[in-house]
């Protein structure tokens, strides 16, 4: 039941809705309904948080009356996890008095760590102080704690707040106002959220992972986020909180989940907690119908489940997970198809930059053609062909491409252009060739004569330097990035089969050449929806015939040029019809955008003048 004073305690029967309280609050209720040991939690809905941002707080004293434990945490709960939210704040309620009591009950090290963590979070996210002032450069001891309190007092002209009600009020107000800020709004809109998207907040009792007994925190998941294969993954860190285990550098405090000859494990030390975690993972998969990452804390050997979120995954893993859930009758085949975004299928056909690998981005542009490739920089089509002849992968980098770059694009592994949009020459041709391509990278500057690429941050890349193009993300990266190879395995074929059974429309392909038609048939297209005949003439040996037709001065010359072109068309049409074996083929007759067939650089104009035996001035004037 929604409390009149602006919050709702999450119980199995309380009215919690994703559209009012956010995804995290609803997920916590589902975990509670599955009898998982979730600490007591209160949810504030979107309207309440909006009211808090305007200065209208709920009854804090009444809210605190719901909790038995001395410390609290506040986490964001947006409608979609991808929309983000303010940083979580832990250990609300820590003060000098609680620190003293925790020193007696849990030891000075634990008390210092808890208090320091809260001071730093509060100072940065609530008081908006400089994070560097609260960096810990040594052990979390009494001296570090005294220094943090002193810095806070110097920066704010007041002692660190000691009343839990005041602390909670300021945390709620800060997180609510952060969500309503311009930066946060623009960021979530970029992630697909509507401008008026709401934020919920969840206030939860802290389970302390720093007890005197066996205590710590960890994260466990039951699937590989890179491949989608079922396997146990995660970490556990002794004497820690939240997701510290994922960031731990002190391996001596890290424990494995399963038995491992390299060190101790939860399975050996706390077999009952390990069995419960495995059981909770199965419950999430079967009842929540999703692969979840479970955040847990063990306090004096007692297990607490703090949260569960959808496992972060690659496009490949997402497809494999959806197919596996359907094959295990957890979701339907139709739902499995709907869980795989169409764009990700195109990405699976190409190599991809490993999302867990290092990324040194040097330029951002428009993601014009998916996939990724690494190679040395070349600035001309001739250099690209020379590189390919020596079996050296290369990236063709141009201000913008023109028809005379076709040979270079065929030879290159990817294309990067300073100018252009999604329908530019480079983008259209790259998609047709299956080349990764980024266009409109306006922050780079090319010097064709010096054969240099300059980035916005002042770095200079010369011809022959190695870069990576991520056509799916629209980025150029320095050096050789770690790659994931395409995988069109059984799960991919299974999903396409299910999609084929569910669809109620026919699917035809855009195919302009016999090679395109063969690829379309390989993917079982039911015909060609559009064959753009002008694209048959982008090949270098055919391009000259098209240019002769464009430059013809008399009807007789034009008829002679068309006489050369017609057999090429007729041959391609015949092959297209044979390849499609009676399936429908829609052909669009000549609609040539002349600028796509003519050179723009002087070098290209000189070559064209030589080929047509014309003065360069005539070619320049006509172009």
| 472 vs 2: CA distance, rounded Å | 44
| 414 vs 397: CA distance, rounded Å | 9
Tell me the CATH architecture of domain 505-592: Orthogonal Bundle (1.10)
Return the DSSP state at 210: T
Q: Taking all residues of the chain, what is their mean pLDDT, rounded to a whole number?
A: 87
Residue 364 is predicted with a pLDDT of: 92
For residue 523, the Cα-to-chain-centroid distance in whole angstroms is 27
Residue 374: helix, strand or coil by DSSP?
strand
| 377 vs 414: CA distance, rounded Å | 10
Note the residue count of the chain. 623
Residue 72 is predicted with a pLDDT of: 95
Tokens of 226: 């890179």
Please name the residues in contact with 367: beta carbons below 8 A apart, sequence gap of 6 or more: 438, 471, 472, 473, 474
Q: Count CA within 13 A, CB hemisphere, residue 323.
A: 21
Tell me the CATH architecture of domain 352-484: 3-Layer(bba) Sandwich (3.50)
Residue 5 is predicted with a pLDDT of: 57
Residue 261 is predicted with a pLDDT of: 84
Tokens of 8: 């709702």
| 58 vs 148: CA distance, rounded Å | 30
Look at 325 and 611; give whichever has higher pLDDT: 325
Residue 601 is predicted with a pLDDT of: 67
Tokens of 344: 């990700």
> Of 34-48, 301-315, 479-493, which one has max mean pLDDT?
34-48
Determine if residue 199 is left, alpha or beta; phi over 0 gives left, psi from -120 to 50 gives alpha, anything else beta. Answer: beta
Q: Tokens 């391509």: give the residue.
A: 437
Residue 223 is predicted with a pLDDT of: 95
What is the chain's alpha carbon radius of gyration, rounded to the nearest angstrom? 31
Look at 591 and 435; give whichever has higher pLDDT: 435
Which CATH number describes the domain made up of 8-205? 3.30.1490.20
Which CATH number describes the domain made up of 216-310? 3.30.470.20
Look at 423 and 129; give whichever has higher pLDDT: 129
Specify the domain boundaries for CATH 3.30.1490.20 within the chain. Answer: 8-205
Specify the domain boundaries for CATH 3.50.30.10 within the chain. Answer: 352-484
Q: What is the pLDDT of residues 511-555, one digit of tens each?
A: 888 888 998 888 888 999 988 877 777 776 777 777 788 788 888
Q: Is the pTM of this model over 0.85?
A: no
| 126 vs 87: CA distance, rounded Å | 11
Residue 124 is predicted with a pLDDT of: 93
Q: Helical H runs in 229-362?
A: 244-247, 266-269, 271-287, 315-327, 333-338, 342-348
Specify the domain boundaries for CATH 1.10.287 within the chain. Answer: 505-592
CA angle 610, 611, 617 (to 5 degrees): 45
Q: Are strands 394-398 and 414-417 parallel, antiparallel or unpaired?
A: parallel
Any idea which of 14-18, 366-370, 402-406, 442-446 has the lowest mean pLDDT? 402-406
Q: What is the pLDDT of residues 98-141, one digit of tens each?
A: 999 989 888 888 889 899 999 999 999 999 999 888 888 888 88
| 169 vs 63: CA distance, rounded Å | 11
Residue 394 is predicted with a pLDDT of: 95
Q: What is the pLDDT of residues 236-273, one digit of tens each?
A: 888 766 555 434 445 446 788 888 888 888 889 889 99
Q: What percent of the chain has pLDDT over 70?
A: 94
Residue 592 is predicted with a pLDDT of: 62
Q: With 70 as the cut, is the pLDDT of residue 498 above it?
A: yes
Q: What percent of the chain has pLDDT over 90?
A: 49
Number of CB atoms found within 10 A of residue 192's CB: 10
Q: With 80 as the cut, is the pLDDT of residue 568 above it?
A: yes
Segment 440-466 shows an average pLDDT of 91
Q: What φ, ψ does residue 181 adopt, rounded to 5°?
A: -70, 160
| 86 vs 77: CA distance, rounded Å | 9
Segment 369-385 shows an average pLDDT of 92
Q: With 70 as the cut, is the pLDDT of residue 464 above it?
A: yes
């Amino acid at each position: 039941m929604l409390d009149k004073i602006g919050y709702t305690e999450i119980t199995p029967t309380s009215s919690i809705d994703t559209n009012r309280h956010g995804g995290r609050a609803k997920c916590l209720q589902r975990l509670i309904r599955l009898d998982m040991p979730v600490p007591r939690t209160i949810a504030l809905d979107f309207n309440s948080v909006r009211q808090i941002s305007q200065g209208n707080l709920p009854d804090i004293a009444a809210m605190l009356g719901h909790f038995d434990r001395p410390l609290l945490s506040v986490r964001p709960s947006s409608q979609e996890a991808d929309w983000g939210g303010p940083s979580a704040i832990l250990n609300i309620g820590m003060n000098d008095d609680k620190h003293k009591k925790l020193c007696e009950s849990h030891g000075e090290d634990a008390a210092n760590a808890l208090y320091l963590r809260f001071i730093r979070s509060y100072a940065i996210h609530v008081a908006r102080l400089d994070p560097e002032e609260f960096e810990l450069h040594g052990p979390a001891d009494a001296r570090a704690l005294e220094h943090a309190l002193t810095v806070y007092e110097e920066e704010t002209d007041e002692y660190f707040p000691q009343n839990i009600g005041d602390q909670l009020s300021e945390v709620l107000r800060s997180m609510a106002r952060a969500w309503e800020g311009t930066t946060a709004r623009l960021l979530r809109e970029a992630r697909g959220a509507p401008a008026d998207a709401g934020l919920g907040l969840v206030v939860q009792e802290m389970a302390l992972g720093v007890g005197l007994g066996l205590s710590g925190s960890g994260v466990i998941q039951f699937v590989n986020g890179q491949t989608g294969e079922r396997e146990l993954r995660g970490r556990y860190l002794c004497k820690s909180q939240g997701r510290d285990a994922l960031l731990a550098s002190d391996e001596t405090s890290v424990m494995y989940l399963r038995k491992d000859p390299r060190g101790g494990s939860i399975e050996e030390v706390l077999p009952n907690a390990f069995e419960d975690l495995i059981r909770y993972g199965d419950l999430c998969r079967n009842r929540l119908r999703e692969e979840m990452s479970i955040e847990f804390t063990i306090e004096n050997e007692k297990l607490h489940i703090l949260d569960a979120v959808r496992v972060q995954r690659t496009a490949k893993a997402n497809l494999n997970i959806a197919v596996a859930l359907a094959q295990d009758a957890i979701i339907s085949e139709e739902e499995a198809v709907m869980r795989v975004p169409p764009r990700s299928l195109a990405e699976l056909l190409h190599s991809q930059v490993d999302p867990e690998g290092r990324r040194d981005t040097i330029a951002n542009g428009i993601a014009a053609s998916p996939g990724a490739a690494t190679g040395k920089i070349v600035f001309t089509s001739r250099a690209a062909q020379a590189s390919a002849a020596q079996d050296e992968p290369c990236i063709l980098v141009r201000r913008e491409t023109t028809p005379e770059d076709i040979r270079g694009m065929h030879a290159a592994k990817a294309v990067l252009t300073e100018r252009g949009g999604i329908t530019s020459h480079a983008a259209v041709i790259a998609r047709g060739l299956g080349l990764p391509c980024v266009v409109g990278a306006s922050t780079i500057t090319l010097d064709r004569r010096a054969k240099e690429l300059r980035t916005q941050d002042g770095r200079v890349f010369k011809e022959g330097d190695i870069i990576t193009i991520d056509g799916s993300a629209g980025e150029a990266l320095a050096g050789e990035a770690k790659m994931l190879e395409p995988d069109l395995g059984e799960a991919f074929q299974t999903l396409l089969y299910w999609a084929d059974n569910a669809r109620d429309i026919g699917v035809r392909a855009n195919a302009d050449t016999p090679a395109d038609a063969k690829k379309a048939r390989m993917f079982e297209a039911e015909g060609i929806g559009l064959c753009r005949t002008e694209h048959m003439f982008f090949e270098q040996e055919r391009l000259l015939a098209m240019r002769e037709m464009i430059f013809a001065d008399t009807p007789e010359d034009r008829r002679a040029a068309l006489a050369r072109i017609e057999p090429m068309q007729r041959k391609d049409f015949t092959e297209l019809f044979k390849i499609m074996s009676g399936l429908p083929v829609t052909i669009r007759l000549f609609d040539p955008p002349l600028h796509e067939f003519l050179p723009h650089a002087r070098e290209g104009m000189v070559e064209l003048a030589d080929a047509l035996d014309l003065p360069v001035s005539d070619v320049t004037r006509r172009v």
